[in-house]
Chain A
């Protein structure tokens, strides 16, 4: 069964600094997709970034980038120049078919 593990329940970062959120997953599939979703206090799930497993190049979206290590089944999210609006729960997710499998989340606090 596919599983997604986020080992950091909470993280904090100073405004304008960089923070990395960790995620590991377990799968026997060779073709799959990985995602990071952000859930602010409003509860809305917002897609931050997506990575296709067959692409070696790490995905980047403005201040957000990933470090995808396929052999190690690791998929970390780096947030550069952190802003107060980045404070939220962050979920790592995986799919090889239709359903998404989510990790338990990392609560990110941004300190001014």
Chain B
């Protein structure tokens, strides 16, 4: 039973380019969360999605960042026109469907380290 899969593990972009980070949740999971970890800091919530819906994006920067979780395929975190301050580790987590979301454990992927030159 594969865990949460994130790719690529390491992504290098030049300032102004676009970064696309992919996350495949665990089998049977329909909730996806994205977190960002800046160097020497804890993880910070960005966005919570269910299939085809953004449930909570209160942690997402208002500009340049977007996320989707289509009916088919992985969840995508997209960062347009990257800047050096976007350099960080981006983690995806997934949890199973259920009516009481707070009870569901979030299982994490290994993260994508984005480096902006």
Binding site for B on A (CB under 8 A): 4, 31-33, 37, 42-47, 50, 91, 95-105
Contacts and interface: CB of A to CB of B under 8 A. Distances in A.
A44 B6 CA distance: 11
Interface of B: 31, 33, 35, 41-45, 48, 55-56, 59, 89, 91, 93, 101-103, 105-111, 113
Contacts of A101: 45
A99 B42 contact: no
A102 to B, nearest CB: 4
Nearest to A96: B102
Q: Is the interface of B mostly helix, strand, loop or mixed?
A: strand
Contact of A100 (B41, B43, B103, B109): B43
* Nearest 7 pairs of A and B residues by beta carbon: A45-B108, A102-B42, A99-B45, A102-B43, A104-B42, A44-B110, A98-B101
Contacts, number: 58
Contact of A98 (B89, B102, B110, B113): B102
A91 B42 CA distance: 7
A42 B93 CA distance: 16
Nearest to A45: B108
B101 to A, nearest CB: 5
A37 B105 CA distance: 11
Given A43-B113, A104-B42, 11 more contacts: A4-B42, A33-B102, A37-B108, A43-B111, A44-B108, A91-B42, A97-B102, A98-B33, A98-B55, A98-B56, A102-B44
B95 to A, nearest CB: 8
Contacts of B55: 98
A43 B110 contact: yes
Contacts of A99: 33, 45, 48, 56, 59
A95 B105 CA distance: 10
Contacts of A96: 102
Nearest to A42: B110
B29 to A, nearest CB: 13
Nearest to A47: B105
Indicate the member of B42, B108, B113 with the most A CB atoms within 10 Å: B42
